[in-house]
Structure 1
Amino acid sequence: MKRTWLHWGAIGCGAFFALYAAQAFASGTSGDAIALEARKIEGEVYVKASSLVAALGGKGSFDPSTNTYRYVPGDVVPDVIEQVGDSVVAVIGKPQGSPARASDRFELAHGSGVIVSSDGWIVTNAHVIESMKEIIVLTQDEKQYKPTKVLRDPASDLALLKITATGLQAAKFADSDDIRPGETVIAIGTPVSFSLRNSATVGVVSGVNRSVNGSYRLLQTDAAINPGNSGGPLINTKGEVVGINTLKFVDVSVDNTGFSIPANTVQYIAEHLRTYGQVKRAYLGFELEESWEAVVGLATNKPMTVLWVDPASSAAKLGVKKGDSLYSLNQKKLSTKVDLNEELKHYLPGEKVTVTMLSNGDIVQRTLTLQAHP
């Protein structure tokens, strides 16, 4: 960490000092602006020492004999791991269809999870529990719980488990729309072996808005994600969950290319599962095909083409037909299926939306009633 000289201001025991190089201290953070308590005296800005420590971590002390303040920056990663550790759980169970032979009695499947509420709701990946029976949730203090509810949403690869517990440390979630490539992130989970639970790896956000064989956008990271990390959190340097780790590319020539479900999608899915027991996805009533540019990941403004229309849908009654093109939904331009799915997260079946389409050579607007996704 770069040394920074601080100019002391004589304002009594309040310990205010001039901060000439706050950027040097803030280099361990995600780069967001930090609001600190301060005063301006004779043209100099003096920042309260306790505000600095609260915002950036570390330790500080004032020596009245020399009228100096000594600040020792904290080590961000260990602090964050310690802060978030109690919110991370291990999920363990027997594989479905596991042989009943005595030699296989210790055969186990496992993954990771995150506490999302103090009363016992846990989020994990749907694929973690898809083929698991006799599920056990193990908290960091090694208490074991059998879930009383198991709710899955394979389309998003997310699931919720409910355990009978109170006073748990719920994780804090970031606004994943604000995440930028290059931010430092930490993956915590139970990789490879159940004995390695609460392991941590560090990397950066390699990319955002990735589309990888899924309904919604994903975050890409180079933090190591291994089998068993699935369902665990990807955390920023503020200790906030930015995503739930879900998959990685595996090949002899591929290194550190993992993906996480963004926090905003996690919260959307979790809220639906808790409220309705399922995700109530809205559906336009017709299927679409992307342009070749969209398929290969190129930026494009080309609209999607209608392939099939549900004859019982509002869309069919309003004249939507195969070969029409979809340009926008409620003025939001759309070029990919993932774009459409992301936009439809804001609506429920039964609500109305206005779509702009090309039909028979004319640009038309139609107000459709959304259906429940089949």
Structure 2
Amino acid sequence: MDRDEENKKNPIDQEAYNETETEIESTAADAPSADHMQEDLSEETEIEAEYTEVEETASEDVVSEEEPIPESATRPTMNKEERARVYNSVSENEDASRRPKDRKNSPIRNGIVGGLIGGGMVALIGAGLLFGSGILGNGSGTGDSGNTAINETVTDVAVNITTDTTAAVEKVQDAVVSIINMQAGNPNMFGFDLPQNSSDTTNGTLETSSEGSGVIYKIEDDLAYIVTNNHVIDGADELEILMKDGTKEVATVVGSDVWTDLAVLTIPASNVTAVASFGDSDAVNVGEPAIAIGSPLGTEFATSVTQGIISAKNRSVSTDVDGDSIVDWDVTALQTDAAINPGNSGGALINIAGQVIGINSMKISDSNVEGMGFAIPSNDVLTIINELEQNGEIIRPILGVSMLDLSQISASQQSSVLTLPDDVTAGVVIAEVQALSAAELGGLEQYDVITEMNGEAVTSIVDLRKILYALEVGTDVEISYYREGTLQSTTVTLTEGQTSAE
């Protein structure tokens, strides 16, 4: 039945209900405060009793909606809708701890609870994985308060790594030295020398002109022998050798060769601790490891190590020996992509066995070029240094002439002065013949154009030198040449010479 019908049947209860409802709504609207602490206890007791009645009724209604609720003459009778309205009005404003629990299952609530539980489980599993992988660490101990303490101690870990490269370098590095080229310097404008770059010696005050590298290859009679490049020692008034341990020695020049760019020095052997051994450069394979050791940019970076491979064998590298910007010689070299810089000259190029397979000599310096260095093959080095030790120089045959490449002569002069046939486009022009030289004795004259020697074509001065220096002193060699447009030939007996360009 609805509320009006209940009121009609229970006129007495209507007044009680209205009074109770008014009291409940008043209590719900006004939150407890200090101003209400002295309210009438009887009123509060009545409200509490009424709330209890409502709560019990709501609970009974939840447990069994079909059970009939007996009507009482001492309290108002309300249908389910009215009781629910009163219950909700009170519950929304009373303390949450006093609200009756809803025992009915809600799909929305179940979904929220399930999501929270599932998320919690994922979080726990993820944390376990992080702890297991070491990303999250647990404490190494507890403090006095019982809290876990984090271990902040940093431990140094020493790793001893040995490879074929480190083993190879260890065999040779103590035998690689720095070479300091000291030359007499001009006093500066203030009349004194720069002390950091100068040294007082028996030759006077010397200054560092350049720095390079060298390799100790043997000890004999209390002397240690060092091989380096000729251009490293060129023009030196004194040579200082800086060992790996910082010891310095003054070196003596045994001999040098401008064409092969090699030189041999000696120092006292008292402080020498290591000697390098040579390998067979002919047995080197393209693509095998190559390690360069030297002093790039000088002593500040002494005994630096770089690694690459053998890029090529038997490379012919054109060089300008006398600095006139004209190619004078072709050096046969090993090509490597191991970094070679100024100061590496004269240093060691070694194989993976720690053997010296070349003496680093040059590189191609160009903004468009990278990783093209060259070393004199060890087999050629051995031949040259043995002769330098014995003679102090390389004895080579000479013709006794000064020469020019035909390509350096203008076309008009080739026609008017040399009167060459049009089909002769390459050869070597004799500019001057020395008196009593092999050339003069063989009948060669100025302006003769050599096109063949010992059965090999001659197209340039470099070609002629290669053929000439491969022959022995005293050898009779046949030379073909053009004189006033006519091809002729002669036989020349080669005489002895050393650094002559002829």
- The TM-score range, normalised by the shorter chain, is 0.5 to 0.7
Question: Displacement, 1:224?
Answer: 0.9
The answer to whether the 8 A contact 1:191-1:227 is kept is yes
2:302 alignment partner AA:
R
- 1:173, 1:340 → 2: CA distance? 31
1:372 alignment partner AA:
G
2:493 alignment partner AA:
L
Question: Displacement, 1:144?
Answer: 3.2
Question: Displacement, 1:132?
Answer: 4.4
Equivalence map 1:17-28=2 (5 Å): none
- 1:96, 1:150 → 2: CA distance? 21
Divergent runs of 4+, >6 A: none
CA shift in 2, pair 1:180/1:340, >3 Å: farther
CA shift in 2, pair 1:326/1:355, >3 Å: farther
Is 2:180 the counterpart of 1:92?
yes
Aligned to 1:192: 297
1:201 alignment partner AA:
T
- 1:177, 1:339 → 2: CA distance? 23
- 2:478, 2:275 → 1: CA distance? 39
Equivalence map 1:200-279=2 (5 Å): 200-207=305-312, 208-214=315-321, 215-219=329-333, 220-279=335-394
Task: Report how many aligned residue pairs link the two structures.
Answer: 292
CA shift in 2, pair 1:328/1:339, >3 Å: same
Is 2:188 the counterpart of 1:83?
no
Aligned to 1:313: 437
Helix, strand or coil at the partner of 1:307: strand
Q: Could you say which structure has the greater relative contact order, defined with CA pairs below 8 angstroms and 6 or more residues apart?
A: 1
1:319-350 CA distances to partner (integer Å, 9 max, x unpaired)? 23433434233x5565544444344444454x
Bigger radius of gyration: 2
Aligned to 2:476: 353
1:195-219 CA distances to partner (integer Å, 9 max, x unpaired)? 4222111123334122233434142
Flag the structure with higher strand content: 1
- 1:194, 1:128 → 2: CA distance? 13
Question: Displacement, 1:92?
Answer: 3.0
CA shift in 2, pair 1:177/1:354, >3 Å: farther
- 1:76, 1:333 → 2: CA distance? 46
The answer to whether the 8 A contact 1:353-1:370 is kept is no
Aligned to 2:101: none
Question: Displacement, 1:161?
Answer: 1.1
2:358 alignment partner AA:
G
1:284 alignment partner AA:
L
TM-score by length of 2: 0.50
1:18-58 CA distances to partner (integer Å, 9 max, x unpaired)? xxxxxxxxxxxxxxxxxxxxxxxxxxxxxxxxxxxxxxxxx
1:242-296 CA distances to partner (integer Å, 9 max, x unpaired)? 322222233433322323233344334323322222232321233455576xxxx
Aligned to 1:117: 218
Flag the structure with higher helix content: 2
- 1:273, 1:224 → 2: CA distance? 29
Aligned to 1:129: 233
Is 2:493 the counterpart of 1:368?
yes
The answer to whether the 8 A contact 1:212-1:218 is kept is no
2:194 alignment partner AA:
R
2:477 alignment partner AA:
T
- Counting aligned pairs with the same residue, the percent is 33
CA shift in 2, pair 1:364/1:184, >3 Å: farther
TM-score by length of 1: 0.65
Equivalence map 1:260-339=2 (5 Å): 260-290=375-405, 304-308=427-431, 309-321=433-445, 322-329=447-454, 331=455, 335-339=459-463
CA shift in 2, pair 1:338/1:178, >3 Å: farther
Helix, strand or coil at the partner of 2:251: coil
Question: Displacement, 1:137?
Answer: 1.9
Q: Which runs of 5+ in 2 are unaligned?
A: 1-161, 188-192, 200-206, 322-328, 408-424
Question: Displacement, 1:97?
Answer: 0.9
The answer to whether the 8 A contact 1:268-1:345 is kept is no
Question: Displacement, 1:113?
Answer: 0.2
- 1:353, 1:204 → 2: CA distance? 43
1:122 alignment partner AA:
I
The answer to whether the 8 A contact 2:178-2:298 is kept is no
Q: Which runs of 5+ in 1 are unaligned?
A: 1-73, 293-301
